[in-house]
Amino acid sequence: MHAAPEMAAAEFARWQKLIEVRTGIHLPTHRKTFLQQALLTRMRELQQTDYNKYFVSLRDGAQAAIEWACLVDLLTVHETRFFRHPESYDLVRSFCRNLLQREPDSRQRSVQVWSVGCSTGEEVYSLAMLLQELQQETGPFYFGVTGTDISYPALASAREGIYHLRRLVGISEEQRATHFQALGDDYFQVVSPLRQRTCFVQGNVNDIRLAKQQMFDIIYCQNLLIYFQNDKRRELLNGLCEHLRPGGILVLAPGEVLRWQHPEMMRIDNKQCLAYSHRGDGRVAE
């Protein structure tokens, strides 16, 4: 890859601000090279060489919105994997068990989950597999897993649910046989009944307060907040809580937020996980 044209400090600050205002993502100075490379990649495709001209092209209008979506995809990190933090999935399983035990009428039993910053879908399908498997223990219940992400290409890939064998790390052979269909050449697709339990929607977590008031039992948000400044993290968490049903849980990745308190949320006593329970109707996770 060619070196990107050097970016002056003032130019960097201008890009930093644009990205933070629009996405919440904070690019510290040590990520200047990353920004330059991302811009260079896109500008080369457009046969542009001037940071300023490209900046102006992102400002207003429909074309600017399309261009912005392309750039955002280059600026976001999509690293993910199935059952990435197993202890958090154990916590979700335990929470759901309790939740379902409390509802004797199987027609009323349902679990709605939101995976925030779902990338290419591994997290959403891990949650869906977990809930599908839990039914063997609890009996039938309705569930749905919604994944949102700012990146359109990541979501397109998530909707297909096709993964190379290399990416099925964390999936047991039994799970592979149950939840995936072999497509050949070491590619596997999540089976249609499980995909039908999922839904992928483009959404910027930074605009959360504008989002439709859909409510969830579990909000699963891992490895997204790390790209935001501490104040922003706390602000986003406050926004997420507004989408949590009373008694629901919010699951983050360990260490992702410090000193966050919310009058309606209680830290779950679990040393391996960072999760909070909505003080509501007394549902508890163990």
Ligand X SMILES: C[S@@+](CC[C@H](N)C(=O)[O-])C[C@H]1O[C@@H](n2cnc3c(N)ncnc32)[C@H](O)[C@@H]1O
- The reply on whether position 119 binds ligand X by CB under 6 A is yes
Closest among 161, 154, 157 to 193, alpha carbons compared: 161
- The reply on whether position 205 binds ligand X by CB under 6 A is yes
Which residue, 14 or 26, has its beta carbon nearer to ligand X?
Answer: 26
Closest among 13, 37, 38 to 26, alpha carbons compared: 13
**Distance between CA atoms of 214 and 244, rounded to whole angstroms?**
9
* Entry field: residues in the chain: 286
Which residue, 119 or 198, has its beta carbon nearer to ligand X?
Answer: 119
Alpha carbon of 271 to those of 117, 123, 221, 227, 268: distances in Å? 24, 21, 18, 23, 9
At its nearest, how many Å lie between ligand X and the CB of residue 36?
19
**CB under 8 A, 24+ apart: contacts of 158-161:** 158/118, 158/119, 158/120, 158/121, 158/124, 158/200, 159/121, 159/195, 159/200, 160/189, 161/121, 161/125, 161/189, 161/190, 161/195, 161/198
Instruction: Give the contacts of 240 (CB within 8 A, at least 6 positions apart).
Output: 116, 208, 219, 221, 250
Which residue, 216 or 227, has its beta carbon nearer to ligand X?
Answer: 227
At its nearest, how many Å lie between ligand X and the CB of residue 202?
9
At its nearest, how many Å lie between ligand X and the CB of residue 99?
22
Angle between helices 9-23 and 32-45 (to 10 degrees): 80
Count of positions on this chain that bind ligand X (CB under 6 A): 24
Q: Is 138 exposed, middle or buried (0-12, 13-18, 19+ CB in 10 A)?
A: middle
- The reply on whether position 88 binds ligand X by CB under 6 A is no
Which residue, 25 or 100, has its beta carbon nearer to ligand X?
Answer: 25
Asked whether the beta carbons of 268 and 285 are under 8 A apart, the reply is yes
Contacting residue, 4, 16, 23, 260, with ligand X by CB under 6 A: 23
Longest dimension (CA), the chain: 64
At its nearest, how many Å lie between ligand X and the CB of residue 96?
19
Q: What are phi and psi of 48, to 5 degrees?
A: -110, 155
Which residue, 3 or 210, has its beta carbon nearer to ligand X?
Answer: 210
At its nearest, how many Å lie between ligand X and the CB of residue 257?
14
Which residue, 36 or 151, has its beta carbon nearer to ligand X?
Answer: 151
- The reply on whether position 16 binds ligand X by CB under 6 A is no
- The reply on whether position 77 binds ligand X by CB under 6 A is yes
Contacting residue, 36, 76, 146, 175, with ligand X by CB under 6 A: 76
- The reply on whether position 181 binds ligand X by CB under 6 A is no
- The reply on whether position 94 binds ligand X by CB under 6 A is no
At its nearest, how many Å lie between ligand X and the CB of residue 45?
19
Contacting residue, 88, 112, 198, 222, with ligand X by CB under 6 A: 222
- The reply on whether position 231 binds ligand X by CB under 6 A is no
Q: Which residues contact ligand X (rule: CB under 6 A)?
A: 23-25, 76-80, 84, 117-119, 123, 149-151, 154, 204-206, 222-224, 227
